Amino acid sequence: MQHALTLPPYGELADPLALVEIAVAAEQAGWDAVFLWDHVLRQPEDPQETADPWVAMAAIASATERVRIGPMVTPITRRRPIKLAREATTLDHLSRGRLTLGLGLGVDTTRELSAFGEIVDPRLRGQRLDEGVELLCAFWSGEEVEFHGEHFVADRVLVLPRPFQQPRIPLWFAARGDARKPVRRAARYDGLYPIEFDERGLAEMLDVVREVRGSLDGFDVIARPSTPSEYERFGEIGVTWAVTGPLPGEPGVLELASTAPLDVFRSGT
């Protein structure tokens, strides 16, 4: 199993230099990845200072050599696919192939969609996600793209260079609760990032993945174990990445990053 820190770039962590310091410490301590939350607004009780995760990831990529990086997760519905394709490709080259792109529908719990007139309806957001990822993959192909969808258009465009990673940048997809369509979407790509689940729910999700793919071979499954025993059981179920990290405003992040990941998960801290 591999191990990742997920960092909320808010409050004191809105300072990109602090994020870089933490990522460097995590790499030295043996962590396999440093992922950043991708939100534009926070709850009123949370710290309101917010860093752009994509700019911060570029700084982290420049200061590290081994850890993977990525946004967990980016909602395509509030992005333009061509802009996202360019950013992801540039970051993939800057990091020499260390980017994993987390994608999802997005949420409006902090009004980060409705406050800016973005689409809130989950059905439409799902359609935009499906179209958007299809367009992303087409852009990364290095071939001319002619795409006229219900939500996005690309009229005879060639997007170069191709990503550093081939055949493309790995794509992980969020799935929340009992919804199965997001799990099937994830199964068509590279990884599943479950949110708000229990152990039984996770096992049921992985049954869906096996149904779509035939097996879990070559597929990443991400989970956030809260106890040492849960960490062990998740590994037995098929989890390939264990993630942990603070909530916005929680202290002790540098100390966490400086601790060997197995010590963190086996102690339940």
Summarised one tens digit per residue, pLDDT across range 102-121 is: 999 999 999 999 999 999 99
Does residue 23 contact residue 63 with C-beta atoms inside 8 Å? yes
User: Mind listing the pLDDT tens digit for each residue in 22-38?
Assistant: 999 999 999 999 999 99
Computed over its alpha carbons, how large is the radius of gyration of the chain?
18
Give the model confidence (pLDDT) of 70-91 as tens digits.
999 999 999 999 999 999 999 9
Q: What is the pLDDT of residue 176?
A: 87
Q: How confident is the model over 233-249, as a mean pLDDT?
A: 95
Q: For residue range 139-176, what is the model confidence (pLDDT) as tens digits?
A: 999 999 999 999 999 999 999 999 999 999 999 999 98
Strands (E), 25-143: 33-36, 68-71, 74-75, 101-104
Between CA 141 and CA 150 the distance in angstroms is: 21
Band of pLDDT at residue 216, cut at 50, 70 and 90: very high
CA distance 88 to 132: 14
Pick the CATH number of 2-267 from 2.40.50.100, 3.20.20.30, 3.40.710.10, 3.60.15.10: 3.20.20.30
Is the pLDDT assigned to residue 269 strictly greater than 70? no
d(C-alpha 219, C-alpha 20), whole Å = 29
- For residue 179, the model assigns a pLDDT of 82
Chain centre to alpha carbon of residue 50: 18
